[in-house]
Amino acid sequence: MLHLVTGGSGFLGNLIARRLLERGDRVRILDIWEDKTRPKEIEFVHCDIRDREGVAKAMRGVDIVHHNVALVPLTKAGNKFWDINVNGSRLAVEEAIKAGTKAFIHMSSSAVFGRVDSMPITDATPLRPIEIYGRAKLAGEQVVRELCDKARLSWIIIRPRTILGEGRLGIFQILFDWIREGRNVYVMGNGHNRFQFVHAHDLMDAYMLALNLGKPGFYNVGTDQFGTVREALEHVITHANSPSQVKSLPAALTIRSLQFLDLLNLSPLAPFHYLTYHRQFYFDIGKLQAMGWKPKYSNDEMFRENYNWFCSNYNKLTAEKNTSAHRRPVKQGLLWVLKKLS
> Among 113, 117, 135, 139, which Cα is nearest to 126's?
113
What share of the chain in percent tops pLDDT 90?
82
Based on the domain organization, do 94 and 66 belong to the same domain? yes
pLDDT in tens, 143-169: 999 999 999 999 999 999 999 999 887
Based on the domain organization, do 76 and 95 belong to the same domain? yes
pLDDT in tens, 202-239: 999 999 999 999 999 999 999 999 999 999 999 999 99
Determine if the pTM surpasses 0.85: yes
End-to-end Cα spacing for the chain = 54
Residue 251 is part of a domain; what is its CATH number? 3.90.25
| Size of the chain, expressed as the number of residues it contains | 342
Based on the domain organization, do 129 and 251 belong to the same domain? no
Give the number of domains in the chain.
2
Distance CA 122, CA 264 (A): 36
Distance CA 175, CA 277 (A): 14
Whether 329 shows a pLDDT value over 90: the answer reads no
Q: CB of 9 within 8 A of CB of 33?
A: yes
Based on the domain organization, do 276 and 214 belong to the same domain? no
Mean pLDDT score, 74-98:
95
Based on the domain organization, do 39 and 147 belong to the same domain? yes
Residue 32 is assigned to a structural domain of this protein:
yes
Mean pLDDT score, 254-276:
88
pLDDT in tens, 105-141: 999 999 999 999 999 999 999 999 999 999 999 999 9
Residue 291 is assigned to a structural domain of this protein:
no
Based on the domain organization, do 108 and 179 belong to the same domain? no
> Among 55, 53, 92, 45, which Cα is nearest to 70's?
92
Based on the domain organization, do 111 and 209 belong to the same domain? yes
Based on the domain organization, do 320 and 238 belong to the same domain? yes
What is residue 324's three-state secondary structure? Answer: coil
What share of the chain in percent tops pLDDT 70?
93
Based on the domain organization, do 189 and 66 belong to the same domain? no
What string of DSSP letters covers 4-67? EEETTTSHHHHHHHHHHHHTT-EEEEEESS--TTS-TTSEEEE--TT-HHHHHHHTTT-SEEEE
pLDDT in tens, 26-76: 999 999 999 999 999 999 999 999 999 999 999 999 999 999 999 998 888
Based on the domain organization, do 72 and 158 belong to the same domain? yes
Q: CB of 257 within 8 A of CB of 335?
A: no
What string of DSSP letters covers 256-305? HHHHHHHHTT--S--HHHHTTTTS-B-B--HHHHHTT------HHHHHHH
Average pLDDT, the chain: 92
Give, as one character, the DSSP assignment of residue 167: T
Based on the domain organization, do 14 and 127 belong to the same domain? yes
| Nearest 10 degrees: Cα torsion 256, 262, 266, 269 | 90
Whether 338 shows a pLDDT value over 60: the answer reads no
Residue 117 is part of a domain; what is its CATH number? 3.40.50.720
What string of DSSP letters covers 95-151? HHHHTT-SEEEEE--GGGGBS-SSSSB-TTS--B--SHHHHHHHHHHHHHHHHHHHH
Side-chain half-sphere exposure of 311, counting CA atoms within 13 A: 15
Whether 311 shows a pLDDT value over 80: the answer reads yes
The boundaries of the domain holding residue 273 are 168-195+225-282+297-341
Residue 255 is assigned to a structural domain of this protein:
yes
Cα angle vertex 75, ends 71, 79, to 5°?
Answer: 65
Distance CA 250, CA 188 (A): 6
Q: Which residue type is seen at 19?
A: R
Residue 287 is assigned to a structural domain of this protein:
no
Residue 248 is assigned to a structural domain of this protein:
yes
